[in-house]
Amino acid sequence: MTDTPPPRPRLSMRTRQALWVWGFLALPVLFYGVIRFYPTVEAFWLSLTDWDLLSSPKFIGLENYRRMVNDPAFWKVFGNTFLYLIIGTPVSLVLSFAIAYFLDRVRFAHGVIRALYFLPFITTASAMAWVWRWFYQPAPTGIINGALGRLGIPQLDFLQSTTWALPSIMVTAIWAGLGFQIIIFMAGLRAIPNTYYEAARIDGLGEGAILRRITLPLLKPTTVFLVVFSSIGFLRIFDQVYNMTTNDPGGPLGSTKPLVLMIYQTAFSSYQMGYAAALTVVLFLVLLCVSLLQLRVLRER
Amino acid sequence: MRKYILMAGLLAGASSFANTAGAVEIEYWQYIYETRVKAMDQLIEKFEAENPDITVKQVTFPYDDYQTRLIAATMARKGPDVLQFFYGWADKLIGGKVLQPLPEDTFKAEEIEADFFPIVTAMKRDGKYYGIPTAVRSLALFYNKKLFAEAGIDAPPATLDEFLADAKLIAKKDDAGNFATIGTTMDMPGQDIHWWREVLVRQFGGAPYTDDYQTVTYDSDAGVAALKWYTDLQLSEGVSQQGFMGDGQAAFRGGRAGMTVDGTFRLGSFRSIEDFDWGVAELPANAEGVRSNYASYFANGIGSSSEGEKLEAAKKFLAFVSSPEAMELWLSVVGELPARRAAALTEENLQDPIYAPFLKALDYAHTTLTVDELGQRQITIDMTNRVLLQGQSPAESVAEAAKAEQAMIDAAKK
């Protein structure tokens, strides 16, 4: 009886496992590489060129950025974008938290009320924008101005004014995103164990103190998520603005124009792809900074 | 069952055989506009009946996407054989080699210039034509006959002074001081931009640009006077309000505007108005009787990638869609005026109370050549807004706009 040991596998178990793991990982890596990172890198490169889509891109170094810094239209749009961010995000968060906080206690028709709040979020942004646009019209067609007129209050110009156009659009954007934020806040509120509240009440803490000491700190992960999420949303605002001011995109004298709309116009109506790419790079960096900053600030506290 | 499959197979085989037997398929591209697509379907059907060896495939895209698609397809060498484009895009499409010059054996420059309205020359570059229109559009004054009768006016205004006087009679405010009815619409983002640029500036004694449209010349007394006259409709005459009911078209359709300046393309939409009768008149002349108008068109051209037998078929098809016969069909289906003089200026059309004012305008109309249509439009809109919303003086605003627009034109030349 000649007994030969079974041939040893050429690769050890460990190596084979590692190969499998890397094999599976390769797919998403490839996907991200091709679908996400490659275009991003390409955009950086495009921002250094002069390209009108028709002829081949011409390398011009930092010329697009130099032009941007000297372009008053860019600074106007940049300011608008930040206005959307610094007004929109806190207002929408405070509102949605307040609504979620109280809605959490409502027992009567809870589901219906919640659904009503959520409804705007699932409605098409353009349809919503057109309805709001009609609300904002001057009397006699616009219902807000119609109501003001009946009360003897002079009408507001809303979208026709360089001062009020941006807040008017912001209101619709906040209103549209509210449902989502409320749902998330409510989920967060529900996740806080009831025993904490019971203990606090036994210790004789008032409602205000409970809110400050228990609810808000425990809601932090939810809040961080919503702050980042809604900031990104406001920095990328487009649908509402584009649809509410189709005649004069970006409002009278660019008063409501956000960065994304400027990118769209630069790229697809003026065909200045290089300049549009440079604007995109700026938007990307702003988004990145704002997100990192918020994550950091809210984590440390 | 088997027999049917066999039959189906045979039929499929037969039809694909028929396709290869000397038949050629060409692609026609345009953007989606319901009546235009419908008209083109009918034209293609007729054309294919006359030319059994040619199949025309109509490809359409949403307006917003159309130019991008054209450019992308051309870069991929998959562009259309025949395409429709707005005259204002011509430079861009020629520069980007989307279009090829029309073959001179079929389309002779002298013939085109003799047969078509003068605005066709906007398609000519270095003596070569790059497109010819099927239909043209011009502006006129639409007026609400019901509001005119209520104000005791029996005819549309012939001059700018009459226009203002009529507007004053029609405009009405409610107790709160808000407009219930406006005398005339103010809609710079609509057609007023053309009214100001090609009509009012000229009527106040100036010109908007030099003849080659390379130099802005409206920064003049005429330009300032024209802007002042226009913005005064709201600021001091109190006959209108910018943005009333959203836009001019909506205000007129809603029966709350006495007059509006709009184009041929609006006829279809206004025809469905049931609450009141409306009429069309030539745009008001100035006190000296000077008239002007703005005309524009979508032209059809031949794609740069079309060659060989496809090019031959494309030539035939282009000649067919710009024939008088096609123009008549276009007028009845789309409502746009024929681009050939002979087809347009028929006795019947000239007697038509609606078509006549538009047709008369074609002989004195200008066609603005733009380098960035939307960009230049935005400059004019902003110019008006600075006066209406920020109280800037018309003179300063005109100067600022002219500077910005000149910079835009210069940048495009590079």
Question: Looking at the predicted structure, is the pLDDT value of residue A189 above 70?
Answer: yes
A52 in any annotated domain: no
Q: Which residue has the tokens 């372009």?
A: A71
Under a CB-based contact definition with an 8 Å cutoff, are residues B123 and B234 in contact? no
**Do B2-136+296-362 and B139-294+370-413 agree at the fold level?**
yes
A3 in any annotated domain: no
Written as one letter, the residue type at B73 is A
What are the pLDDT digits (tens) for A51-102?
887 778 889 999 999 999 999 999 999 999 999 999 999 999 999 999 999 9
CA-nearest residue to B376 within chain A is A270
Q: B2-136+296-362, superfamily in CATH?
A: Periplasmic binding protein-like II (3.40.190.10)
Please, which pLDDT band fits residue A8 given cuts at 50, 70 and 90? low
Residues A231-246, buried b or exposed e (16+ Cβ, 10 A)? bebbbebebbbbbbbe
Size (chain B), residues: 414
What are the pLDDT digits (tens) for B229-284?
999 999 999 999 998 888 899 999 999 999 999 999 888 789 889 999 999 999 99
Asked if B177 has any chain A CB less than 8 Å from its own CB, the reply is yes
Question: Looking at the predicted structure, is the pLDDT value of residue B21 above 50?
Answer: no
Do A26 and A154 lie in one domain? The reply is no
Residue ranges of the domains in chain B? 2-136+296-362, 139-294+370-413
CB contacts under 8 A, A 161-180 vs B, are 161-162
Q: Residue B185: name the closest of A247, A163, A126, A129 by CA.
A: A247
| Cβ-Cβ contacts under 8 Å, B400 against chain A | none
Please, which pLDDT band fits residue A301 given cuts at 50, 70 and 90? low
Do A181 and A243 lie in one domain? The reply is yes
Phi (first) and psi of residue B5, to 5 degrees: -60, -40
A269 in any annotated domain: yes
- Nearest-CA distance B315 → chain A (Å): 25
Structural tokens at position B1: 């069952």
- Nearest-CA distance B60 → chain A (Å): 18
A275 in any annotated domain: yes
Please, which pLDDT band fits residue B25 given cuts at 50, 70 and 90? very high
Q: What is the mean pLDDT of residues B310-324?
A: 95
Interchain CB distance below 8 Å, A248 and B385: yes
Under a CB-based contact definition with an 8 Å cutoff, are residues B344 and B362 in contact? yes
A150 in any annotated domain: yes
CA-nearest residue to A141 within chain B is B245
Please, which pLDDT band fits residue B11 given cuts at 50, 70 and 90? very low
Q: What is the mean pLDDT of residues A256-263?
A: 95
CA-nearest residue to A134 within chain B is B246
pLDDT given at position A184: 94
Interchain CB distance below 8 Å, A268 and B71: no
Please, which pLDDT band fits residue B92 given cuts at 50, 70 and 90? confident
Interchain CB distance below 8 Å, B178 and A149: yes
Under a CB-based contact definition with an 8 Å cutoff, are residues B176 and A149 in contact? yes
Structural tokens at position B383: 């110019």
Under a CB-based contact definition with an 8 Å cutoff, are residues A28 and A242 in contact? no
| Cβ-Cβ contacts under 8 Å, B385 against chain A | 162, 248, 252-253
| Cβ-Cβ contacts under 8 Å, A269 against chain B | 372-375
A4 in any annotated domain: no
- Nearest-CA distance B168 → chain A (Å): 19
Residue A87: which domain range? Answer: 72-300
Do A258 and A201 lie in one domain? The reply is yes
For B176, the closest of A54, A134, A152 (CB atoms) is A152
CA-nearest residue to B377 within chain A is A248
What is the Cα–Cα distance from A72 to A113, expressed in whole angstroms? 45
The dihedral built from the CA positions of residue A234, A237, A243 and A248, taken in this order, carries a sign that is positive
Interchain CB distance below 8 Å, B189 and A247: yes
pLDDT given at position B361: 92
Distance in angstroms between the alpha carbons of the first and the last residue of chain B: 68
CATH number at residue A190: 1.10.3720.10
Written as one letter, the residue type at B197 is R
pLDDT given at position A4: 67
B148-157, B367-376, B404-413: range with highest mean pLDDT: B148-157
- Nearest-CA distance A292 → chain B (Å): 35
Q: Report how many Cβ contacts below 8 Å link chain A to chain B.
A: 86
- HSE-CB at B81 with a 13 A cutoff on CA atoms is 23
What is the Cα–Cα distance from B228 to B336, expressed in whole angstroms? 33
- Cα Rg of chain A, angstroms: 26
Contacts of B102 (CB under 8 A, 6+ apart): B128, B129, B130, B131, B132, B301, B302, B318
For B68, the closest of A141, A247, A268 (CB atoms) is A268
pLDDT given at position B10: 44
Supply the pTM of this predicted model: 0.83
pLDDT given at position A154: 80
Please, which pLDDT band fits residue B397 given cuts at 50, 70 and 90? very high
Question: Looking at the predicted structure, is the pLDDT value of residue A284 above 80?
Answer: yes
Question: Looking at the predicted structure, is the pLDDT value of residue A110 above 90?
Answer: no
Question: Looking at the predicted structure, is the pLDDT value of residue B55 above 90?
Answer: yes
pLDDT given at position A298: 74
- Domain count within chain A: 2
Distance in angstroms between the alpha carbons of the first and the last residue of chain A: 75
Domain B139-294+370-413 fold is: D-Maltodextrin-Binding Protein; domain 2 (3.40.190)
pLDDT given at position B220: 96
pLDDT given at position B68: 84
Asked if A247 has any chain B CB less than 8 Å from its own CB, the reply is yes
pLDDT given at position B17: 43
Q: What is the mean pLDDT of residues B175-195?
A: 91
What is the Cα–Cα distance from B89 to B31, expressed in whole angstroms? 14
Q: Residue A161: name the closest of A238, A245, A236, A84 by CA.
A: A245
Question: Looking at the predicted structure, is the pLDDT value of residue B13 above 70?
Answer: no
Q: What is the mean pLDDT of residues B309-317?
A: 95
Question: Looking at the predicted structure, is the pLDDT value of residue A234 above 90?
Answer: yes
Size (chain A), residues: 301
For helices A143-150 and A125-135, angle between their N-to-C axes, nearest 10 degrees: 20
pLDDT given at position A9: 66
Asked if B180 has any chain A CB less than 8 Å from its own CB, the reply is yes
How far does CA B346 lie from the centroid of its chain? Answer: 21
Percent of residues, chain A, with pLDDT higher than 90: 44
Written as one letter, the residue type at B19 is N
A5 in any annotated domain: no
Indicate the SS3 state at residue B6. helix
pLDDT given at position B71: 86
pLDDT given at position B4: 52
Do A167 and A21 lie in one domain? The reply is no
A278 in any annotated domain: yes
A2-11, A32-41, B50-59: range with highest mean pLDDT: B50-59
Q: What is the mean pLDDT of residues A118-142?
A: 86
Torsion of CA B46, B47, B48, B49, to 10 degrees: 50
Question: pLDDT averaged over chain B?
Answer: 90
